[in-house]
Chains A and B, each alone.
Chain A
Amino acid sequence: DGGITQSPKYLFRKEGQNVTLSCEQNLNHDAMYWYRQDPGQGLRLIYYSQIVNDFQKGDIAEGYSVSREKKESFPLTVTSAQKNPTAFYLCASSPSGDRGHYGYTFGSGTRLTVV
């Protein structure tokens, strides 16, 4: 079955460390996204990529970095510059065309905790 795989499901990080969250899709979608979800905050866009080797900052990009070297993969690095990284991170992808508006598929998320 096609879908999005995020790993790991749970991640613990010490303060001052960088960590990388994995996101892989086999849906042949062009666009991929990273969102952060905090209690009572909804989903906020961190970065998005509409094509390989290109990506744009979302609303809360500070302290994060991404790469898009392959269509299937869009890893997110949470750097030590991110002041409050504890959150639930969701990766999504969407196809091109009109379905790009409503055809988002989300992964199951990675819960990152700073210890």
Chain B
Amino acid sequence: QKEVEQDPGPLSVPEGAIVSLNCTYSNSAFQYFMWYRQYSRKGPELLMYTYSSGNKEDGRFTAQVDKSSKYISLFIRDSQPSDSATYLCAMSSNYKLTFGKGTLLTVNP
């Protein structure tokens, strides 16, 4: 079993839809959970991070962590064409990040 599992998609939704992206993990030592957004041929940029379990909201984005289930989610409300990108989950243990494979999202106008 890989340390971090993420459905690569691709995921295609109409503008305005609610998007749900998910990752599961197996390493109980992970304490920080991040979501990165990566546009084509660019480096990833941090969207949100969460420490331990719980929810965190930032504008149209909500990150959820359920450590008991080893499951994290990113919700995007009122999705926009500019949200079209690859979304990578990442988790930290000993300051090293382990990434999911990324989910390619396309928001159609």
What separation, in Å, do the CA atoms of A58 and B97 have in the docked complex? 11
- Name B's A-contacting residues (CB within 8 A): 6, 8, 31-32, 34, 41-46, 49, 88, 92, 95-97, 99-102
How many A residues have CB within 8 A of the partner chain? 25
Identify whether the interface residues of A are mostly helix, strand, loop, or mixed: strand
**Chain A residues closer than 8 Å to B97, beta-carbon distance:** 43, 45, 104
**Chain A residues closer than 8 Å to B8, beta-carbon distance:** 40
CB distance A42 to B95 under 8 Å?
no
What separation, in Å, do the CA atoms of A111 and B40 have in the docked complex? 12
**Chain B residues closer than 8 Å to A41, beta-carbon distance:** 101
The reply on A48 being an interface residue by CB < 8 A is yes
Closest to A111 in B: B41
- Name the 7 nearest CB pairs between A and B, nearest first: A106-B43, A102-B49, A42-B101, A101-B32, A101-B92, A43-B99, A42-B99
Q: B34's contact among A4, A88, A102, by CB below 8 Å, is which?
A: A102
Residues of A1-34 at the interface with B, using a CB-CB cut-off of 8 Å, are 4, 31
**Chain B residues closer than 8 Å to A94, beta-carbon distance:** 95
**Chain B residues closer than 8 Å to A111, beta-carbon distance:** 41
